[in-house]
Chains A and B, each alone.
Chain A
Amino acid sequence: MSFVHAALSPLAGALACTMLWLAIAAASLVPAGNAAFARRFAFPLGALAGLVLAALGLEAVWLPVQKLTLPLGLPDLPFHLRLDPLAGFFLMLLGSVSAGISVYAAGYFKAEPSGRLALIGFQYHVFLASMAFVLLADDAYLFMVAWETMALSSYFLVITDHKQAAIRSAGFLYLLVAHLGAIAILLCFGVLHGGHGDYSFDALRATQLQPAWATVAFLLAFAGFGAKAGMLPLHIWLPEAHPAAPSPVSALMSGIMLKTAIYGMVRVIFDLIGNVRWEWGLVVLVVGAGTALFGILYALMQHDLKRLLAYSSVENIGIILLGLGMSMVFIGFGHPAAGTLGLIAALYHSLNHAVFKSLLFLGAGSILHSGGLRNLNDMGGLIHRMPKTAFYFLIGALSISALPPLNGFVSEWLTFQTALQATILQNGVVRSLLPLFAATLALAGALTAMCFVKVFGVAFLGQPREPAHPSLPHAGDAGEMERFGMAWLAAGCFALGLFPTSFLLILNRVAVSLGGQGLSEQALSGSGWLWLVPTAAEQASYSPLIFLVMIVAVTLLTFFLVRRFYHGRVRLADPWDCGYPERTSRMQDTADAFGQPIRHVFGPLYRMERTLPGPDDTAPRYTLKIEDRHWYWLYLPVARAAEFVSAKIALLQQGRISIYLLYSFITLIALLVFVR
């Protein structure tokens, strides 16, 4: 009986879904007729598994913790699985967002040659399964195995177009940073385990660390997971790897994989280490604020659409870190209710970012597919050629710009509300620091709006900037499957924006399960399906549904009043443009031109190389190159140092066997001396 019960539990179901992904991966490799198989069967079935997984994750949020031990792995070291509300929430994120991406991928990859498609189908589903195992793992061993599988499978997906040298080097950079992070995480587990020989998470949770060691563990976890999340200054791989990968893979990596790093951070810091200290929160806040501002300022400078989206992911990770940091500060000072609010804001933003950033990457993929365009400076007027893609992309752009009543606004609103709780802190310095982070968030949010006005305005509106572009005449709208995937994610933007209270309650349950206290009674009693109340009704409330209904009602009322009392006459004419007779599509702002005010205001932050044409140039050419300063003060010196050291070490390699025998002999003598 208990066996049947266990087999029907969400954990067993989640395991079955994950196994289904692995089975699809294996089946993708079967050589015969796999193109049709992938399109009609593999990706849609993967999407279905994702939906089931999302439902099971949602169910698990409301159930007690479930555990399972798999007789796999090394002898005496089986895999432990555990499904608690935190893992359930992230499984929901993984399942629901990947469902949209998989449906899209079924359409997107249909023109791939069959050999490549087999590999993509294999790696894609292994990638999904490994992310699910990261979320389900209950011991450090399985966690690291899944984590590394995730890194490797995504690495191979990034270098799908491995014939191009730039893509190979982007992949190498990704692999390098991923492994730096993995080493830090491994060391963190080593510190946490404290010499018991038991690496299950239960044992790690039970370990009582001294404050200094706990801080070391925190720093290792923060750096290790931060490298995967794209936190400053380890963000460097993101703008290289995301554009290199095929668009559905970029969506998976940016939307979901970065969130597994957030999951890891929350799991290790809030759950395994425990006893969160407010000083840690300050570290997270400072890094988060820097990451958010840096990410969006560099996003504004990009003209490669996918690179821009990658930098914008860096920014959003910064916003998530701001929420996490505030939560840690409040918990460290003994205000669990405010801390819960911060954690909820951070996790809510993780889910929101997964939805809208995946949507935007898929939109970028459709543009790339239809016209081969990825440089914003070549685009323009796409709304006429691909109106449906434009519609979905607009929803994503409005969501990420944190405009009400869509979803990005809700999580930023919650983060602001957390910052406004600062008055309850006792420490005067920290109390006045929190509003500064709120100011950073406000600035980053406003810059995001500018960035996505630029993207949408330059790509979809106006006239084509390069009318002679060879592939432009053939450009058409996205295919049916692609549109279906985008519609699913766009619906997610609305659902998350309009019914925030349902998600607030889910996240409250997650926070309670992490040993928190949960939101105040006033907040929970004040929140209905209509009203979002984070603290108390007289302090703050927000009702996106009323907001939407009112704005639509008022707009329609205006429309009908104008039509009723006046007329609907319209005359089409050439644009006026202040009466200037000459007008070409090259006179519109390019993406670079649109960022000019930002270059002017924040000039010192960028490493710019600009050549301006002289007054008497016969063939004037304006070039602008913006580079990341981190390359020059951090990465290149480290690379040079590594090369220098390895050149010295290479002196040991003489290539003669007698020398190597001598080394062994000396080592043996040294060891003997040491052992005695």
Chain B
Amino acid sequence: MSQAQAIGFQILQSVFVVLAAPLLVGWVNQCRAWLQNRSAPSVLLPYWTLAKLFNKEAVIARGASPLFRATPYILFGCMWLAAGIVPVLATGLPFAPAADIIALVGIFALARVFSALAAMDIGTSFGSLGARREMMIGFLAEPAMLMTLFTAAFISGSTQLTTIVDTLGHREFALYPSLAFAAVAFLMVLLAENARIPIDNPATHLELTMIHEAMILEYSGRHLALIEWAVAIKLFAYMTIGIALFVPWGIAGAGDWRALPAAFGALAAKLALAGAGLALIEALLAKLRLLLAPEFLSTAFLLGVLGMLTHFFVRG
């Protein structure tokens, strides 16, 4: 595999993820509409929404600082970088060693901190309320995510996602009890971090219990479009991290062009299933009271820790 080919793979994957992310959101919304016996909007609706928002002018509140205007770009950049590092289509990407799983969690934290700061920038009551709640979710979700990733890191002896996927993808099929704990914890973190039911409701504004939407209330036009797009990429990235950790089979190696169609097919099938599953979860569960969110997430954290300990007990 030549370096140029690997870089080609890298660029291909990064562009693919950014372009495909709204499709995943459209698919999840479509599944949810079906489950709720509604006639579903087009799966392409998120693209039209983004195009509409990009063409509108941006309204910015008086008294906003430069931080407010820079944040949508920073968010989008963070998510794009994350999507470039996660092995979505292929392992062994040339930029992947620049950031391991801890740095990946760091990227998400960076994005979270900036979005919370931007929410507090105008000085509205809803903005700071959203920022406070987002950081409350974050301080529990982030360690829970790290614990999940550490479980995989202990099994494969590495914090490089590429090595983890290679180890887990090419092993003989064996049940790891620790990975089962980790998978449940990861699912809970995924729901919380992507502002999904039961922690937050992506389909509602103007509700006193909102978290994510409260933070971006003051955004409009292209800024809002970038944020919405970044949110879609984040969901895509989380799902592909989950796929990479728990069902890594079928991924290609960087530069292996012949394996690429199969990798595409496998990824599409897994994401379709995962999206449908997410919609099912959202259809079945009710939103938790806000004060129960810490309990939900500390359960995730404890499950992650348990998974890590199980690895040692079962092995040793």
What residues of chain B lie closer than 8 Å to A305, measured between beta carbons?
none
**A597: chain B residues within 8 A (beta carbon):** 132-133, 135-136, 294
Tell me whether A573 and B60 are in contact (CB under 8 A). Answer: yes
Q: How far is the CB of A410 from chain B (nearest CB, A)?
A: 10
Contact of B65 among A383, A543, A572 (CB under 8 A): A383
Question: Bound state CA distance, A453 and B121, in angstroms?
Answer: 11
Chain B interface, DSSP helix/strand/loop, else mixed: helix
| Contact in complex: B80, A449 (CB < 8 Å) | no
A558 to chain B, nearest CB (A): 5
A566 an interface residue at 8 Å Cβ cutoff?
A: yes
Whether A593 is near chain B, meaning CB under 8 Å from some CB there, is: yes
CA distance A587 to B135 in the complex (A): 19
Q: Please name all residues of chain B whose beta carbon is closer than 8 Å to the beta carbon of A450 when the two chains form the complex.
A: 135-136, 138-139
Whether the pair B139, A578 counts as a contact (CB closer than 8 A) is no
The distance in angstroms between the C-alpha atoms of A445 and B268, with both chains bound, is: 36
Contact A442 B294 (CB under 8 A): no
Q: How far is the CA of A574 from the CA of B60 in the complex (A)?
A: 8
Q: What residues of chain A lie closer than 8 Å to B139, measured between beta carbons? A: 443, 446-447, 449-450
Bound Cα distance from A570 to B219, whole angstroms: 11
Do residues B147 and A439 form an inter-chain contact, with CB atoms below 8 A?
yes
Decide: A574 and B67 in contact? CB cutoff 8 A. no
**CB pair B124 A601 closer than 8 Å:** no
Q: CB-CB contacts of A371-408 with B at 8 A, as 1s and 0s?
A: 00000000011011000000000000010011110000
Is the C-beta of B128 less than 8 angstroms from some C-beta in chain A? yes
Contact in complex: A588, B135 (CB < 8 Å): no
Query: Are A409 and B106 neighbours in the complex by a CB distance under 8 Å?
Result: yes
Interface magnitude class on chain A: 35 or more
Q: How many residues of B contact A (CB 8 A)?
A: 80
- Closest Cβ–Cβ distance, residue B200 to chain A (whole Å): 14
Is there an interface contact between A462 and B80, defined as CB atoms closer than 8 Å? no
Within 8 A of B (CB), among A561-617: 562, 565-567, 569-578, 580, 583, 585, 587-589, 593-594, 596-598, 600-601
Contact, CB under 8 Å: A540 / B100 = yes
Contact B106 A404 (CB under 8 A): yes
Kindly state the separation between the CA atoms of A158 and B60 in the bound complex, as whole angstroms. Answer: 46
Whose C-beta in chain B lies nearest to the C-beta of A533? B97
B150 touches A435 (CB 8 A): yes
Q: Of A30-38, A93-101, A412-420, which binds chain B? A: A412-420
B123 near A461 (CB under 8 angstroms)? yes
A558 interface neighbour in B107, B121, B150, B226, Cβ under 8 Å = B226
Question: How far, in Å, is B142 (CB) from chain A's closest CB?
Answer: 4
Residues of A within 8 A of B304 (CB): 439
B313 x A384 contact (CB < 8 A): no
Residues of A with C-beta under 8 A to B160: 538-541
Listed stretches B41-49, B71-79, B256-264; interface member = B71-79
Q: Are B153 and A585 in contact (CB under 8 A)?
A: no
Q: CB-CB < 8 A to A594: which residues of B?
A: 128, 131-132, 135
- CB within 8 Å for A573 and B61 given contacts A458-B120, A462-B121: yes
Residue of B nearest to A550 (CB): B81
- Contact between A423 and B154 (Cβ–Cβ < 8 Å)? yes
Partner of B62, one of A439, A454, A573: A573
On whether A542 and B125 interact (CB within 8 A), knowing A423-B154, A576-B218, A577-B217, the answer reads no
State which of A398, A431, A531 has its C-beta within 8 Å of the C-beta of B97: A531
| A176 touches B (CB below 8 Å) | no
Cβ contact within 8 Å between B121 and A583: no
- From B108-116, B245-253, B273-281, give the one contacting chain A: B108-116
A562 close to B122 (CB less than 8 A): no
Q: Give the chain B neighbours of A583 by CB distance below 8 A.
A: 124-125
Interface string of A135-161 (1 = CB under 8 A from B): 000000000000000000000000000
Any A CB within 8 A of the CB of B98: yes
Q: Which A residues touch B99, using CB under 8 A?
A: 404, 542-543, 547
Q: Which A-chain residue is minimally distant from B295 (CB atoms)?
A: A601
Chain A residue at smallest Cβ distance from B105: A442
Given contacts A384-B65, A462-B122, A542-B99, contact A559 B73 (CB under 8 A): yes
Q: Write out, one digit per residue, whether chain B residues 150-181 have a CB within 8 A of any chain A CB (1) or not (0).
A: 10011001111001000000000000000000
Contact A404 B76 (CB under 8 A): no
The listed residue (A420, A555, A573) touching B150 by CB distance below 8 A is A420
Question: Shortest Cβ distance from A435 into chain B, in angstroms?
Answer: 5
Tell me if A538 and B77 are in contact (CB < 8 A). no
Q: How far is the CA of A576 from the CA of B205 in the complex (A)?
A: 13
Report B-chain residues with C-beta under 8 Å of the C-beta of A537. Answer: 97
Q: How far is B127's CA from A577's CA once the two chains are assembled, in angstroms?
A: 8
User: Which of B77, B123, B140 contacts A446, CB < 8 Å?
Assistant: B140
Task: Give chain A residues whose Cβ lies under 8 Å from the Cβ of B142.
Answer: 442, 445-446, 449
Of residues 427 through 471 on chain A, the ones whose CB sits less than 8 Å from some CB of chain B are 428, 431-432, 435-436, 438-439, 442-443, 445-447, 449-450, 452-454, 456-458, 461-463
Residue B146 interfacial (CB < 8 Å): yes
Interface positions of B from 223 to 279, Cβ below 8 Å from A: 226
Complex Cα distance, B101 from A417, in Å, reads 11
* B308 touches which of A435, A458, A565 (Cβ 8 Å): A435
CB pair B136–A436 under 8 Å, yes or no, is no
Q: Do residues A554 and B143 form an inter-chain contact, with CB atoms below 8 A?
A: no
Contacts of A565 in B (CB 8 A): 54
A546 in the interface (beta carbon within 8 A): yes
Q: What's the minimum C-beta distance from B56 to chain A, rounded to whole angstroms?
A: 9
> Which residue of chain A has the shortest Cβ distance to B99 in the bound complex?
A547
A442, B147: Cβ atoms closer than 8 Å: yes
In the complex, whether A639 has a CB less than 8 A from a CB of chain B is no
Q: Flag A511-537 by CB within 8 Å of B: 1 or 0 each.
A: 000000000000000000001000001
The answer, yes or no, to whether B19 is at the interface (CB within 8 Å) is no
Q: Are A542 and B98 in contact (CB under 8 A)?
A: yes
**Is the C-beta of A551 less than 8 angstroms from some C-beta in chain B?**
yes
User: Quick one: given A461-B67, A558-B226, A589-B120, are A573 and B59 in contact (CB under 8 Å)?
Assistant: yes
Nearest chain A CB to B314's CB is how many angstroms away? 11
B115 → A minimal CB distance (Å): 10
Q: Shortest CB–CB separation between residue B47 and chain A, in angstroms?
A: 14
- Contact between A551 and B78, CB atoms less than 8 A apart: yes
Residue among A380, A431, A552, A601 with the highest chain B CB neighbour number at 10 A: A601
A443-B143, A566-B54 known; A416 vs B102 contact (CB < 8 Å): yes
A446 touches B120 (CB 8 A): no
Give the residues in chain A near B285, CB-CB below 8 Å.
none
- Across-interface contacts of A423 in B (CB, < 8 A): 154, 157
- Interchain CA distance A559-B308 in the complex, whole Å: 41
The answer, yes or no, to whether B206 is at the interface (CB within 8 Å) is yes
User: Does B110 lie within 8 Å of A403, measured CB to CB?
Assistant: yes
Cβ of B58 < 8 Å from any Cβ of A? yes
Across the A-B interface, the 4 shortest Cβ-Cβ residue pairs: A462-B123, A555-B77, A457-B120, A442-B143
A-B contact pairs, 7 of them (CB 8 A): A398-B110, A401-B113, A420-B154, A420-B159, A569-B58, A576-B218, A577-B218
